[in-house]
Structure 1
């Protein structure tokens, strides 16, 4: 019973900030910036979108890499990234 009483004493508060279990990816983003990964991909002749609604190849590659970094193991997993506001803010 003493343990349960201690848990009740943990302070908490509410916040309007967006949270994500992947907030630590900010450090990965800094690493990507420091090594110039996106610049290296931009120098490659990646295919352009085939329509005005297509995605840039760099966006697809970066989404796939982020999905791998957070443990995704199916192509469907990287589609879920678009719903995480924190990841969108970190990686644009």
Structure 2
């Protein structure tokens, strides 16, 4: 069987930025969660436990972080540290 190869020239610009990037698809996830109003839905749900401490995290922040970790491929709660230390994800979801 004969193989036919076609060469296609592509022209594109490469540029650099000082913004942090992440391989986890964080921007897509953030946009999707914003579009469906995820944070608002969580904050309006009165059945979820609320932190009584002024040092505690908001329930919406904890759930959003957990969803982000699952999105990034963790399969155990212990593995959420993978996304916990990702500074680019932290900036996106801040």
User: Which runs of structure 1 show a deviation greater than 6 angstroms over 4 or more consecutive aligned residues?
Assistant: 12-15
Taking the TM superposition and a 5 Å limit, the aligned residue runs for 1:21-32 are 21-22=23-24, 24-32=25-33
Shift of 1:62: 0.6
SS class of match (2:50): coil
Residue 57 of structure 2 is matched in structure 1 by 55
Residue 20 of structure 2 is matched in structure 1 by 18
Is the contact made by 2:42 and 2:59 (CA closer than 8 Å) also made in structure 1? no
Higher helix share: 1
Residue 65 of structure 1 is matched in structure 2 by 67
Q: Which has the larger radius of gyration?
A: 2
State how many pairs are aligned. 80
Consecutive unaligned residues of structure 1, counting only runs of 5 or more, are 1-11
The alignment yields a C-alpha RMSD, in angstroms, of 2.1
Consecutive unaligned residues of structure 2, counting only runs of 5 or more, are 1-13
**Compared CA separation, residues 34 and 60, structure 1 to 2 (3 A):** same
Instruction: With the length of structure 1 as denominator, give the TM-score of the two structures.
Output: 0.72
Shift of 1:75: 0.8
Matches of 1:37 and 1:16, distance apart in 2 = 29
Instruction: With the length of structure 2 as denominator, give the TM-score of the two structures.
Output: 0.70
